[in-house]
A and B are shown apart, each in its own frame.
Chain A
Amino acid sequence: MYKLFLTLRYLRKRRIAYFAIAAVMLCTAMVLIVSSVMGGFLDQLKLKARGLLGDIIVDNGIASGFPLYEEFIAEISTWPEIEKATPLIYSYGILRFGESPRLNTVRVVGLRLEDVYVVNAFKESLYYETYYPGTTTLSPQQQPLLGFDPELSPAAQSDPTFRLPVLPEPYRSALETSRTQGIVDEAVPSSLSQEFAAEGAGPIPGVYDVNWNIESGPTLEGEPFPGLIVGRDMIAARKPDGRYERYESYPRGCRMTVTLVPISRSGSIDLPIKQPFRLTDDSRTGIYEIDSQHVYCDFSLLQKLLEMDAAEQIDVESGEVIGTTPPRCSQIQIKLTPGADAYAIAERLEEHYHSYMADPRYRLDLNDVQLVQFVEAKTWEQSQEHIIAPVEKERILVTILFGIISLVAAVLVLCILYMIVLQKTRDIGIVKAIGGSSGGVAAIFLLYGAAVGLVGSIIGAIGGYYFVTYINAIQELLIWLNPAWRVWDRSVYSFDAIPNTVNMLDVIQVVVFAILASTFGALLAAWRAGAMQPVEAMRYE
């Protein structure tokens, strides 16, 4: 009992121990912060990749794409493990914003919206689809104009001219539906809609109808163009609190033009094609590189524009039609039924695709055989392995490095405890004189080291936890003090915010390691204290 009693008493009364506790605390917090941020980065990477890809990805890594995807999807859709499969096309283009001189090089993705909603988490990334459900479509559409509600807002009774903005149908009903369901738009209202937002209209983004007529209500205008979903970082500004403010010059339905470069199945490049679109929604996946570079349009439209659709095959010499080249896609994303073994199914899918090369039903020419033979089916984890594996290794490496640096705390504990043993030499003699054993006296200092580790690591873990939790606010504070102090560059680290979640398993591991290190640091002091002879110790000056 005396061991615990004296340990706690020395911990309270020996102020020098506070330095050891502080060292352990700082090292614990440091390791936890590094581990959490790196681990969070990795988790986000996996989560986002998972959300954007589906369970299995089939592609051949060639810009020309690959044929027979429709046949493949039709056949595998009968497999019990396959819930949904959808083709996608990836290409590159130049995006022009309206009539402005602003041009962005973009990755153009062709997709079947309804299928993609099932296969991955793309739907959750959409802004308008969240607050105006059912209104996001990639088919041709006009620009909705904002009118004003003929009824007075209760908040504007004092001003007879004040009217809240309203949208034409179906946007108006969709907005009311989402608000009835309690889905509240937390976007930053643009400067034009701030006044209305304050009156309860919410941050309704849009362009106002200058010829608005209270009798006819809000309207749609302009030539119909296909819908285009644009990465949010291209049409909105991210605020320090993580919310977005949409640029007023890019309202929903505004015109945008994408210039594409078709690539044939043999690899030859055709003349560029310009296609006008209307902005139908914006997507925020959370990966900056995607949200600042990706636009999404209808699969069939993009396939046609890129000349990846079915085409007549003409004999060069005779000019006769000798067959049809099959349409191509760049990728197939597959969602599996729950519990299915993704790795085993990926192997089966790849074998199945390769079997088409020798399948007499299709009689592929040399170009198509080459495209098919490179088709690979991978799980989402395998497809992202080239990114995930190095980050995983980097995380382990950095944690080990910081763990080694943390041994400084153990050395400090050693030095401080050794000093305490020297200071308490006479006390050690007294304790031994009244019957304290060598092991018992040694245990006092081992317990002391463990207690320093326990107290320091718990305080450090709490500090580290709150630091990680508020790490983005801390960065914003630093940026506010000096913009050059930005430590997390979205364009470098992909994600728009520093990962701020703490894994409790990490906390436990770090705390246990800190306690063990501190106890280890106390070993020498404990050994010396235990080995002292009582008479010599009591004579110590």
Chain B
Amino acid sequence: MSDALLSAAGIHKSYAMGRTVLHVLRGCDISVRSGEFVAIMGKSGSGKSTLLHILGALDVPQQGQVHFAGEEVFAPPRLRSIRTNALDILSSTERRRIRFRRRLFGFVFQFYHLLPELSVLENVLLTRMVGTPTLAWFGARARAREDALAMINRVGLGERTRHRPNELSGGERQRVAIARALIHKPRILFADEPTGNLDAEAGAALMGLLKSLHDEGQTIVMVTHDAGVAHQADRIVRLEAGQLRQV
């Protein structure tokens, strides 16, 4: 496990549903090596997206630890008592998670999650903007734009840079989302049901794109409930009853 790029141990997550508590994750352990393509499978509602969000520092577990390249993604358990969202603004945990998301992680979501007011190019550039201080941006802008155009060309949307998300098909939107996720050259790409909202043809094309990215050395952790999609990964783990099982 020492050569793991990303590792998680004893992840617990539960949600309060009225008076009952729904235990989604009950001690999940997972390890992803650099350059590996891992698929997490499970039924709808099994908690695979929750696990992905925790691995990607978008969400916090109630118990457990996540490490990335040997560095702790979450703060020690004593800070788990800080439940107030507002306090997170100031917490070091929040700052650390932001740094991972901004520099090292990339995300692709089932519903694309593009900003509707921005064009394809602007959506992709936004990731670079977020990671660049205001003054530095004026020096980095031209280079970022070149990189963004190259990435958009890479996903096959070179002719659509000025279009807005509502002028694109589902498959095209997901390609934009991939370009946005990769523009800052993340160490690991998290994909949450990337084909879940696409037809078979668009889904196959998108998987081809992910596969080629993986072939170029991109580490990918993908969540899917589709066995056909999952089988294109190097390794499949299944989430059942809140725990992961190697397939």
B118 interface residue (CB < 8 Å to A): yes
B89 close to A439 (CB less than 8 A)? yes
A9 contacts which chain B residues (CB < 8 A)? 117-118
Q: Are A531 and B89 in contact (CB under 8 A)?
A: yes
Q: Report which of B89, B127, B132 forms a contact with A442, defined as CB distance below 8 A.
A: B89
In the complex, A282→B130 CA distance in Å? 73
Q: How many residues of A contact B (CB 8 A)?
A: 32
Chain A residues near B95: list those with CB within 8 A: 437
Given A9-B118, A10-B117, residue A434 in contact with residue B59 (CB < 8 A): no
Does A271 lie at the interface of the complex (its beta carbon under 8 Å from any beta carbon of B)? no
Interface readout for A13-39 with B: 1 if CB under 8 Å, 0 if not? 100000000000000000000000000
Shortest A435–chain B CB gap in Å is 3
Interface 1/0s, chain A 408-434, versus B by CB < 8 A?
000000000000000000110111111
- Other-chain contact of B134, A1, A429, A442, A527 (Cβ < 8 Å): A1
**Contact, CB under 8 Å: B86 / A527:** yes
Interface residues on chain B, size class:
20 to 34
The answer to whether A1 touches B132, judged by C-beta atoms less than 8 angstroms apart, is: yes
Known: A1-B134, A9-B117, A534-B58. 15 other contacts (CB 8 A): A1-B129, A1-B132, A2-B129, A2-B130, A5-B129, A430-B113, A431-B130, A434-B180, A435-B98, A436-B98, A436-B130, A438-B98, A440-B130, A530-B86, A531-B88
Q: Interface 1/0s, chain B 45-69, versus A by CB < 8 A? A: 0000000010000110000000000
Does the CB pair A426–B118 fall under 8 Å?
Answer: no
A437 (CB) vs chain B CBs: closest residue: B98
Q: Is A73 positioned at the interface, with any CB of B under 8 Å from its CB?
A: no
- Whether A531 and B86, one on each chain, are in contact in the complex, defined by CB atoms closer than 8 angstroms, is yes
Question: Do B109 and A435 touch across chains, with their CB atoms under 8 A apart?
Answer: no
B137: chain A residues at CB < 8 Å are 1
Give min CB distance, A441 to chain B, whole Å.
9
Q: Is the CB of B58 within 8 A of A433?
A: yes
In the complex, per-residue mask of B72-115: 1 if CB is within 8 Å of any chain A CB, else 0: 00000000000001101100001100110111000101000111
Contact of B126 among A2, A10, A429, A437 (CB under 8 A): A2
Q: Known A426-B113, A532-B85, A535-B59; judge A435-B118 contact (CB<8 A).
A: no
Given the complex, which residues of B lie within 8 Å of A426, measured CB to CB? 113
Residues of A that sit less than 8 Å from B by CB: 1-6, 9-10, 13, 426-427, 429-440, 442, 527, 530-535, 538
B88, B99, B103, B113: the one contacting A433 at CB < 8 Å is B113
Separation of A435 and B104 alpha carbons in the complex (Å) = 10
Q: In the complex where A13-B117, A531-B88 touch, is A538 in contact with B130 (Cβ < 8 A)?
A: no
Q: Which B residues are in CB contact (< 8 Å) with A527?
A: 86
Residue of A1, A2, A432, A435 with most partner-chain B CB within 10 A? A435
Closest 5 CB pairs of A and B: A435-B102, A1-B137, A438-B89, A2-B129, A531-B85
Q: Which residue of A lies closest to B133 (CB)?
A: A1
The verdict on B131 contacting chain A, using a C-beta distance below 8 Å, is: yes
**Bound Cα distance from A530 to B117, whole angstroms:** 20
B123 to chain A, nearest CB (A): 9
Of A1, A6, A426, A533, the most chain B CB neighbours within 10 A belong to A1
